[in-house]
């Protein structure tokens, strides 16, 4: 099938954030998304952001408009959350985000009444019903279709870095998993999910789509669920590998890293340079290491098999690309990466709370609720950085 890659302004940013709805007292998930969406009705139709439902009725997704900067996209997200709270606060429904809910059970959750979701569950059965996962999606505009797959392959080298920064699913259905991101390994069980195939150009992608459609695996490109995928409708590369971020400043920091990396690779292509990539077997191993160990992972950084602590390699990358962050007007958001490296990602904070509460995972949920509600807004966070 011929899937045209839409025209998109270079390095523009769009964000999607999947959020849980929980009972304010018990912390358990509640199926209130249909109520929230109905109450909002047409009141947000003219806004830059959108608020929609997802696979499960315990989830809403807030989506930004197209931002020239990360800050503009994050402002849209903040406005969307403020709108949602006008409905959830009176209902004593709290909003939180992590890659997984610490103790909720799949069999207690309701599937949203849409044909596409019922079709997915019918096909995927137990694995589909276990998709109690929350993530972020970062779109970055690409100005030339011939750049798409070279950039995707180069970005795959940084998938473990993005996974480690965002890892926030150390608990699953009441159990401590031993993984920083259990979500990463659960999500890849769905057909067409997981690591992107190492395709070289758009022609190969079109051939892949032809094969998948002809064999009934999918209907169109929107059902490609790779950790990094092209989004032909928007003219973007979409990074989907990250767990749900627990706070808005962390979302901004990771989004800035994605934007800066895409622009960096785009400039290298403009200069006629070949982008570095890793063999698929190293990419797969790196994904597992980041899921297991988070920011304590050692990752493979080149084709020779050189291994480095992911935090060390991240700091070197940040130093190398800081000028690009400044040019894209996201230097302050980019600096937020250092706070995650210094203070720990969400998975580590959750484990500390669980340990302090003798393993009571209800306390972990209330910690996530407090972080989401009382944590700084992006503007307050940036002001605290002193820039």
Q: Are 182 and 172 in contact (CB under 8 A)?
A: yes
Structure pTM? 0.95
pLDDT tens, the chain, 387 aa long? 668 999 899 999 999 999 999 999 999 999 999 999 999 998 998 899 999 999 999 999 999 999 999 999 999 999 999 999 999 999 999 999 999 999 999 999 999 999 889 988 998 999 999 999 999 999 999 999 999 999 999 999 999 999 999 999 999 999 999 999 999 999 999 999 999 999 999 999 999 999 999 999 999 899 999 999 999 999 999 999 999 999 999 999 999 999 999 999 999 999 999 999 999 999 999 999 999 999 999 999 999 999 999 999 999 999 999 999 999 999 999 999 999 999 999 999 999 999 999 999 999 999 999 999 875 454 554 555 444
The residue written with tokens 């070197």 in the block is 316
The rounded distance, in Å, linking the Cα atoms of 263 and 328 is 9
CA 234 to CA 323: how far, in whole Å? 27
- The answer to whether residues 167 and 344 touch, using CB atoms and an 8 Å cutoff, is no
All domains of the chain, ordered by start, with CATH? 13-384 (3.30.590.20)
Q: Of 66, 60, 65, which is closest to residue 97 (Cα–Cα)?
A: 60
Residues 6+ apart with CB under 8 A from 216: none
What is the rounded distance in angstroms from the CA atom of residue 242 to the CA atom of residue 257?
A: 12
Angle, helices 331-343 vs 70-88, to 10°: value is: 70
Please state, in angstroms and rounded to a whole number, the distance separating the CA atoms of residues 295 and 162. 10
CA 108 to the chain's CA centroid: 25
pLDDT at 374: 72
Predicted confidence at residue 7, as pLDDT, reads 87
Predicted local confidence at residue 376, as pLDDT: 47
Residue-level pLDDT at 349: 96
Paired residues of 229 in beta bridges: 238
Task: Provide the 10 A C-beta neighbour count for residue 283.
Answer: 20
227-to-94, 162, 299, 315, 354 alpha-carbon distances in Å = 28, 11, 17, 23, 29
């Amino acid at each position: 099938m011929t899937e045209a890659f839409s025209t998109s302004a270079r390095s523009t940013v769009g964000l999607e954030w999947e959020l849980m709805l929980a009972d304010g007292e018990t912390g358990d998930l509640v199926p209130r998304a249909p109520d929230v969406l109905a109450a909002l009705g047409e009141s947000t139709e003219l806004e830059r952001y959108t608020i929609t439902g997802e696979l499960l009725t315990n989830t809403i997704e807030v989506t930004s408009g197209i931002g020239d900067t990360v800050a503009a996209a994050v402002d849209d997200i903040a406005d969307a959350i403020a709108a949602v709270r006008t409905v959830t606060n009176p209902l004593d429904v709290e909003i939180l985000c992590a890659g997984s809910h610490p103790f909720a059970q799949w069999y207690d959750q309701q599937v949203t009444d849409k044909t596409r979701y019922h079709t997915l569950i019918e096909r995927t059965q137990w694995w589909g019903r276990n998709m109690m996962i929350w993530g972020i999606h970062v779109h970055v505009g690409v100005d030339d279709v011939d750049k798409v797959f070279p950039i995707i392959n180069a970005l795959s080298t940084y998938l473990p870095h993005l996974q480690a920064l965002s890892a926030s699913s150390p608990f699953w259905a009441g159990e401590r998993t031993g993984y920083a991101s259990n979500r990463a390994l659960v999500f890849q069980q769905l057909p067409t999910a997981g690591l992107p195939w190492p395709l070289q150009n758009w022609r190969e992608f079109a051939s892949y789509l032809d094969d998948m459609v002809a064999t009934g695996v999918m209907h169109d490109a929107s059902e490609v669920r790779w950790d990094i995928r092209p989004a032909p409708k928007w003219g973007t590369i979409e990074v989907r590998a990250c767990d749900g971020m627990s706070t808005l400043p962390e979302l901004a920091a990771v989004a800035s890293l994605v934007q800066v990396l895409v622009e960096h690779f785009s400039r290298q292509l403009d200069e006629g340079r070949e982008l570095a990539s890793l063999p698929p077997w190293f990419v797969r191993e790196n994904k597992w290491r980041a899921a297991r160990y988070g920011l304590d992972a050692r990752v493979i950084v080149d084709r020779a098999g050189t291994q480095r602590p992911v935090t060390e390699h991240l700091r070197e990358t940040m130093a190398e690309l800081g000028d690009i962050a400044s040019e894209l007007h996201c230097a302050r958001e980019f600096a937020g990466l250092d706070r995650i490296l210094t203070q720990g990602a969400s998975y580590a904070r959750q484990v500390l709370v669980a340990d302090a509460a003798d393993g009571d995972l209800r306390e972990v949920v209330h910690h996530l609720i407090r972080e989401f509600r009382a944590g700084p807004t992006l503007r307050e966070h940036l002001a605290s950085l002193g820039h």
